[in-house]
Amino acid sequence: QVQLVQSGAEVKRPGASVKVSCKASAYIFTRDYIHWVRQAPGQGLEWMGIINPSGGSTEYAQRFQDRVTMTRDTSTSTVYMELSSLRSEDTAVYYCARDGLEGTDLWGQGTLVTVSS
Amino acid sequence: QSALTQPRSVSGSPGQSVTISCTGTSSDVGGYNYVSWFQQHPGKAPQLTIYDVTKRPSGVPDRFSGSKSGNTASLTISGLQAEDEADYYCCSYAGSYTYVFGTGTTVTVL
């Protein structure tokens, strides 16, 4: 079954880092770019960045440039998003999404990251 | 990069048509034919509804259609149905492999 499966919910202290994983199944992992998108409680969608699973190149939204790192492991068809220096405003559901042949057609189930002291 | 501007809410009766606008700039919506629309029901992941301004993925009903004029893209839902009640977000390519989402619109079926 073609799908993206994300890691489970996380609770982090302010100032800590979080690393969320997104495992691809049943399609050619290196063919399609992967986006990371987040949604704070009751708020809209926010684009964070994109990674090319083939070569590992990345592009980040300006506001996350100094805090986010996206990587991939082709041996396990998994991409990762690490966000550092967490603050309460980073509490959100984080999604990975595939940029396929017909648009951003496949989304992970979302990972809730809660930042609280 | 500023979020694209969408109306906060639109509403219509079953069977009616509603249109959601998505206004950006010449650096995003107006500069590329890469606008997508996503439907999101509460507690669910977004679902692709329209991509490349006008294209409809397989499985999406043909009552959903997209268009663009200048810096504004639009999503039209014709023959509104109860299950169309959801939040809708536009998203545009903004150059250099970056993207920007709209502010989101809640569609209410009266």
Q: What SS3 state is found at A47?
A: strand
The answer to whether A59 contacts chain B (CB < 8 Å) is yes
> Considering only CB atoms, which chain A residues are within 8 Å of B104?
44-45
Yes or no, beta carbons of A47 and B47 under 8 Å apart: no
> Considering only CB atoms, which chain B residues are within 8 Å of A62?
1
What is the spatial distance between Cα A6 and Cα A20, in angstroms, rounded to a whole number?
7
Half-sphere exposure of A85 (CA within 13 A, CB side): 6
Yes or no, beta carbons of B38 and A104 under 8 Å apart: yes
Residue B48 above 90 pLDDT? Answer: yes
Which amino acid, one-letter code, is at B64?
Answer: F
Query: A94, A84, A81, A92: which is closest to A114 by C-alpha?
Result: A92
pLDDT, tens digit, for every residue of A10-20?
A: 999 999 999 99
What pLDDT is attached to residue B1?
A: 80
pLDDT, tens digit, for every residue of A45-64?
A: 999 999 999 999 999 999 99
What is the spatial distance between Cα A48 and Cα A53, in angstroms, rounded to a whole number?
16
For residue B27, which phi and psi values (nearest 5 degrees)?
Answer: -90, -10
| Residue range B82-98: mean pLDDT, rounded | 97
